[in-house]
């Protein structure tokens, strides 16, 4: 059994909006993620799945509970927990290459090594030839590839992905999902992947966590027993459809609860 890489213990989080009452986003949430595991988190809108990721990333202050990676407590952001955001968050004033180099420059590597490594990852995400393009010149899918390269190049212990394909059209999404599977197959990083797309979660993950409506708790965990390496072919299998149905009805239950609470 692989050792635990990420551990959430009794994590709670309350969000305080500028004008309004505090909102309980996460309640007594505990979760273990094993090394080299690809775990997806799904749930209705507002259930706190992104909050979970941001706490792990160190972007939000953790007041209650504990989060550890490899036994070390998490408090501030750092390159050991690389993150990819939904809206790419590329530095628009830097070219593709400069974006990818940014994390490497913080690590004080020598220039030749840096450039080689950056080029390697630009090639990996199939953007060879676009090294000197500005983000404003790229399509959504291309921007996300840069974001992925930028994060992976720093060799993080853990990869956090916050609905990374949510802003892309269906075709591009499908292509990038397959590419992610391939890249992950090469590096086998521990991944925590947040999405509202159940189909995507089943396709990519070893395990899917279903969260409850706000305040977020873990409703159920579903182990995805589909063989690896995977590609889009697997979506045609009976088992795949079964998993999707199962998870979708769970999410739907919570989504109904969430909309009921709102009115």
Size of the site for other proteins (CB under 8 A): 30
Sheet holding 23-34, edge to edge: 23-34, 4-15, 64-69, 72-73
CA distances (Å), 78 to each of 109, 160, 168, in order?
17, 12, 27
Please report whether residue 151 would count as binding other proteins according to CB under 8 A.
Answer: yes
Question: Rounded distance, CA 207 to CA 134, Å?
Answer: 37
Candidates 43, 46, 82, 141; binder of other proteins (CB under 8 A) is 82
Question: CB of 131: closest distance to other proteins in angstroms?
Answer: 14
Please report whether residue 57 would count as binding other proteins according to CB under 8 A.
Answer: yes
Closer CB to other proteins, 144 or 212, in the complex: 144
CA distances (Å), 4 to each of 33, 37, 38, 70, in order?
6, 10, 13, 7
Please report whether residue 59 would count as binding other proteins according to CB under 8 A.
Answer: yes
Question: CB of 26: closest distance to other proteins in angstroms?
Answer: 19
By 3-state DSSP, what share of the chain in percent is helix, strand and coil, each rounded to 5?
40, 25, 35
Question: CB of 92: closest distance to other proteins in angstroms?
Answer: 6
Question: CB of 200: closest distance to other proteins in angstroms?
Answer: 21
Closer CB to other proteins, 99 or 212, in the complex: 99
Closer CB to other proteins, 83 or 176, in the complex: 83
Please report whether residue 91 would count as binding other proteins according to CB under 8 A.
Answer: yes
Question: Rounded distance, CA 43 to CA 201, Å?
Answer: 11
Please report whether residue 72 would count as binding other proteins according to CB under 8 A.
Answer: no
């Amino acid at each position: 059994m692989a050792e635990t890489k990420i551990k959430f213990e009794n994590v709670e989080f309350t969000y305080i909006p500028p004008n309004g009452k505090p909102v309980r986003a996460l309640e007594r949430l505990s979760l273990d993620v094993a090394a080299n595991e690809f775990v997806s988190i799904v749930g209705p809108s507002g259930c706190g799945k992104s909050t979970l990721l941001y706490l792990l990333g160190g972007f939000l202050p953790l007041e209650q509970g504990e989060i550890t990676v490899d036994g070390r407590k998490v408090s501030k952001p750092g390159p050991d927990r690389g993150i990819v955001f939904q809206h790419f968050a590329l530095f628009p004033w830097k070219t593709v290459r400069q974006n990818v180099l940014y994390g490497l420059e913080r690590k004080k590597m020598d220039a030749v090594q840096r450039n080689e490594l950056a080029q390697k990852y630009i090639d990996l995400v199939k953007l060879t030839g676009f090294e000197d393009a500005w983000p404003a010149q790229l399509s959504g899918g291309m921007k996300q590839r840069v974001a992925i390269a930028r994060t992976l190049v720093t060799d993080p212990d853990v990869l956090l992905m916050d609905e990374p394909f949510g802003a892309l059209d269906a075709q591009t999404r499908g292509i990038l999902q397959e590419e992610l599977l391939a890249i992950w197959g090469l590096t086998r990083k521990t991944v925590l992947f947040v999405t509202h797309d159940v189909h995507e979660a089943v396709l990519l993950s070893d395990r899917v966590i279903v969260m409850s409506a706000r305040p977020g708790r873990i409703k159920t965990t579903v182990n995805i027993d589909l063989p690896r390496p995977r590609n889009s072919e697997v979506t045609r299998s009976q088992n795949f459809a079964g998993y999707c149905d199962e998870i979708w009805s769970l999410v739907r239950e919570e989504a109904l609860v969430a909309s009921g609470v709102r009115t």
